[in-house]
Amino acid sequence: MGLFDKFKKNDKGQDFFVIAGLGNPGPKYAGTKHNVGFDVLDRLGKKYNIEIDKFKHKALVGDGMIEGKRVLLVKPQTFMNLSGESIREIVNFYKVPQDHFVVIYDDTSLPVSGVRIREKGSHGGHNGIRNMIAQMGTDEFWRIKVGIGEKPNGWDLADYVLAKFDKDDLPMIEQGADKAVKAVELILSRGIMDAMNQTNQKAKAPKKEKNEKTAEVKDEKKPQGEVKG
């Protein structure tokens, strides 16, 4: 039995949602591809005046209102590969049912600026989601995936996701983050199906100049093996 199954019949806090964004803590990882989930939460916090500054359950959290629903915004501080430890504690503590939980994270299978909503699914090689599935005992949780583009040939996946965006990609990732904010708003205001129907439109990869060079990662070290994609 998965963790969410305990709370299927929970009648408390029917308008209370947990919105989690995945990333790595600390200034070293700010602005990296793997921190897109954090970036989307920061945008939500800024738009709805929610300060994500309280430390609880191994995460920075902030509570407020979005689309008439009370929400808890959650940024796990465990490093990406252990994200599920924090999420499990929060879901347990607040007795969150499956349909009141959303996680936002980066996805290499989508082009930069692409956004997809899914009700469930495998980890797809994402170690943060892999750990969440292991900790929660289920892969049935809503997720918003934000495209960061496919790993270039010859790159190590960890180096790619820990790199910052190429400056030419910044406008596109800004669009993607805005789309993810809108996806959260749609889930809260209209439900998961309407949100999927409006959000999951086929995204086209942005055109790039022929001579454009892929961004290089310099002096970027993996955090003691804690983050591998």
Percent of the chain, pLDDT > 70?
81
> What is the CATH number for 141?
3.40.50.1470
Give burial (CB, 10 Å; 0-12/13-18/19+) of 221.
Answer: exposed
Residue 7 lies inside a defined structural domain of this protein: no
The pLDDT of residue 68 is above 60: yes
Token duo for residue 191: 């439900």
Task: Note whether 59 and 5 are within 8 A (CB).
Answer: no
Residue 104 lies inside a defined structural domain of this protein: yes
Among 34, 57, 100, 126, which one carries the catalytic annotation?
34
Task: Note whether 97 and 8 are within 8 A (CB).
Answer: yes
Residue 150 lies inside a defined structural domain of this protein: yes
Residue 105 lies inside a defined structural domain of this protein: yes
Distance CA 229, CA 226 (A): 9
pLDDT of the residue at 202: 60
Task: Please provide the average confidence, as pLDDT, over all residues in the chain.
Answer: 86
Distance CA 36, CA 122 (A): 19
pLDDT of the residue at 15: 84
| Helices 127-136/83-94 angle, 10° precision | 40
pLDDT of the residue at 64: 97
pTM of the model: 0.83
Domain that holds residue 137: 13-199
Banded pLDDT at 74 (limits 50, 70, 90)? very high
Instruction: Verify whether residue 123 is a known catalytic residue.
Output: no
Average pLDDT over residues 102-117: 96
Residue among 102, 118, 100 at smallest CA distance from 10: 100
* Range of weakest confidence among 124-133, 177-186, 197-206: 197-206
Q: Provide the number of structural domains found in the chain.
A: 1
Residue 215 lies inside a defined structural domain of this protein: no
Banded pLDDT at 84 (limits 50, 70, 90)? very high
The pLDDT of residue 213 is above 50: no
Residue 216 lies inside a defined structural domain of this protein: no
The pLDDT of residue 207 is above 60: no
Average pLDDT over residues 192-200: 96
Phi, psi of 74 (to 5 degrees): -130, 130
pLDDT of the residue at 2: 56
For CA atoms 200, 202, 208, 210, the dihedral sign is positive
Task: Give the pairing type, strands 69-76 and 101-107.
Answer: unpaired
Q: How far is CA 176 from CA 20, 30, 89, in A?
A: 17, 17, 29
Residue 125 lies inside a defined structural domain of this protein: yes
Task: Note whether 116 and 107 are within 8 A (CB).
Answer: yes
Residue 168 lies inside a defined structural domain of this protein: yes
Q: Over the stretch 150-175, which tens digit does the pLDDT of each residue have?
A: 999 999 999 999 999 999 999 999 99
